Amino acid sequence: DAGVTQSPTHLIKTRGQQVTLRCSPKSGHDTVSWYQQALGQGPQFIFQYYEEEERQRGNFPDRFSGHQFPNYSSELNVNALLLGDSALYLCASTWTSGYTGELFFGEGSRLTVL
Amino acid sequence: GNSVTQMEGPVTLSEEAFLTINCTYTATGYPSLFWYVQYPGEGLQLLLKATKADDKGSNKGFEATYRKETTSFHLEKGSVQVSDSAVYFCALSETGANNLFFGTGTRLTVIP
């Protein structure tokens, strides 16, 4: 049983560019959340997708957007990249109807903005 | 608003030493509390949780008790091992929500 998988593992972009990160949730999970983890900090909630819609959103600008597909996989898009967007981006999955309080995290996509 | 404050690290202990990592929180209502751990090269994983006041979460020899009166959820282990070396995050979620608010993390290094 594959856990949460994310791609790419690492990527480098320059300021002003756009990036797309991808996530496949753990088998059986229908809810995907994205977190940003800056160096030396704890993860910060960006948003959550359920039934292909954004259900909750943290305190992030509109440059951050996402999508969930019918197979529950998800993308995170960041436009007009800033140096401060350099971070580890984590995807977490769970299933809403059977939520027990545990989120399952991928290993993350490390984005460097130059 | 919701926030979590963890003791700053890094923490370095000898094998078999006693571990305490302090965590306090601010939240509206009655949150659930969690400790997540990030081992080198791995994703975050749940270590233990408590969903109401006075609950004790435990796993792998680690324990934490939900203290509403002191708004705390300190992590303890009686005898740490080298394999416990990792970054530990305290987190909370609001009642009925499944997004997490994390502390800044505490890096633990256990030396033989």
DSSP chain A: ----EEE-SEEEE-TT--EEEEEEPPTT--EEEEEEE-TTS--EEEEEEETTEEEEE-S--TTEEEEE-TTS-EEEEE-S--GGG-EEEEEEEE-STT--S--EE---EEEEE-
d(CA A57, CA B50): 24
Q: Residues 6 or more apart from A24 whose CB is under 8 A from it?
A: A2, A4, A5, A6, A73
Tell me the nearest-neighbour CA distance from A33 into chain B, angstroms: 8
Say whether A103 and B46 touch across the interface (CB within 8 A): yes
Say whether A42 and B91 touch across the interface (CB within 8 A): yes
How crowded is residue B95: how many other Cβ atoms within 10 Å of its Cβ?
Answer: 12
pLDDT tens per residue, range A27-79: 999 999 999 999 989 999 999 999 999 999 999 999 999 999 999 999 999 99
d(CA A46, CA A33): 7
Q: Looking at beta carbons, which residues of chain B come within 8 Å of A4?
A: 43
Say whether B44 and A43 touch across the interface (CB within 8 A): yes
Residue A2 has pLDDT above 80, yes or no: no
pLDDT tens per residue, range B89-99: 999 998 777 78
Which tokens go with B97?
A: 């929500």
Say whether A105 and B97 touch across the interface (CB within 8 A): no
Low-confidence ranges of chain B (pLDDT < 50): none
Mean of all residue pLDDT scores within chain A:
94
Q: Looking at beta carbons, which residues of chain B come within 8 Å of A66?
A: none
Using a pLDDT cut of 90, give the percent of chain B over it. Answer: 84
